[in-house]
Amino acid sequence: MEIIDGRLTAEKIKNNLATEISELKKTTGRIPGLVTILVGENPASQVYVKMKNKACAKIGMHSEQLNLPKEISENELLEIIEKYNRDDNFNGILVQLPLPDHINEDKIIESISKDKDVDGFHPVSVGNLVIGKDTFYPCTPYGIFYLLKEYGIDTKGKHVVVVGRSNIVGKPIANIMLQKKEGANAIVTVCHSAAPDLKLFTRQADILIAAIGRANFITNDMVKDGVVVIDVGINRINDSSSAKGYKIVGDVDFDEVSKKASYITPVPGGVGPMTIAMLLQNTFKAFKRVVK
């Protein structure tokens, strides 16, 4: 059994980006820029946005963090986004979700220029992903795709079973793995909460991708020997032995399932660190489209 190390892979991506950015800076005099827009004071969102800006600084990417009050109107937010759509210093625009209830998330996502949609949530990006055209992959699914490739895991003709059909993980990763391209070309099954007997599907998986949001939900009896397991879940459970009183676990019972798996991502340290790395990768991609 081999552990798929997302931390190490993410570091490699960031180091490569830092080198490429510094080289392009010499030849073009420009560096990529990302603006992160946070509305309100959701503590988890504050942490994520801070991590994203810190990661930009570390690789020599310009970033700006906009902290907007939760009372901001939808129109005011749309105007701010339009300003960044027109600003050549910014190649990526990220609006941290969720937004307050009085703001229509779909409308906001659709207002981001598709050329700066580094989160990959714009309907045009999603449509291009489905029909196999060049686009920005949403960051977490992109991270999963990248990890499978990095570890040389054969996907062609393999049965990928995805548990979860969210727009940010389940649906996009299923569509990516379905593409007739290197690193994908798989037979894909997508499961969700209406599956009468989930085991029937998960036991058939050569590659199992769990994006459910339930701690230790995938157990040993739900997988076959040799399965490749990608655990996207981030769940907080009580842990009296930890100073914080809790610990983070995935959707997969790691201790038991790892006995049967050929490869498995740990939580933390698997898919999680890849999400920010792929956000940087997408922003760099947007930058390269305009500087070359």
119 is catalytic: yes
Q: Which is nearer to ligand NAP, 30 or 159 (CB)?
A: 159
Active-site pick, 14, 52, 171, 285: 52
Q: How far is CA 224 from CA 5, 19, 152, 204, in A?
A: 22, 41, 20, 7
Q: How far is CA 62 from CA 66, 77, 80, 90, 106, in A?
A: 13, 22, 18, 8, 27
**Closest by CA position to 173, among listed 226, 227, 107, 120:** 120
CA–CA dist 21, 18 (Å, integer): 5
Which residues make up the interface to ligand NAP (CB under 6 A)?
140, 163-166, 168-170, 191-195, 198, 211-214, 232-235, 271-272, 275
Residue number, nearest CB to ligand NAP: 166
- Smallest distance from ligand NAP to CB 22, Å: 27
- Smallest distance from ligand NAP to CB 170, Å: 5
153 DSSP assignment? -
* Residues 1/261, Cβ–Cβ less than 8 Å: yes
Active-site pick, 96, 158, 171, 281: 96
CA–CA dist 242, 132 (Å, integer): 45
Kind and range of the H or E run holding 187:
strand 187-191
* Residues 159/187, Cβ–Cβ less than 8 Å: yes
- Smallest distance from ligand NAP to CB 118, Å: 15
Question: For the chain, percent helix, then strand, then coil, each to nearest 5?
Answer: 40, 15, 40
- Smallest distance from ligand NAP to CB 134, Å: 23
156 is catalytic: no
Q: Which is nearer to ligand NAP, 31 or 173 (CB)?
A: 173
Alpha carbon dihedral 282, 283, 289, 292, in 10-degree steps, equals -120
Q: Where are the alpha helices (DSSP H) in the chain?
A: 6-28, 43-58, 74-86, 105-111, 123-131, 139-150, 170-178, 198-202, 254-257, 272-291
Return the SS3 of 220.
helix
52 is catalytic: yes
Instruction: Give catalytic residue positions.
Output: 52, 96, 119
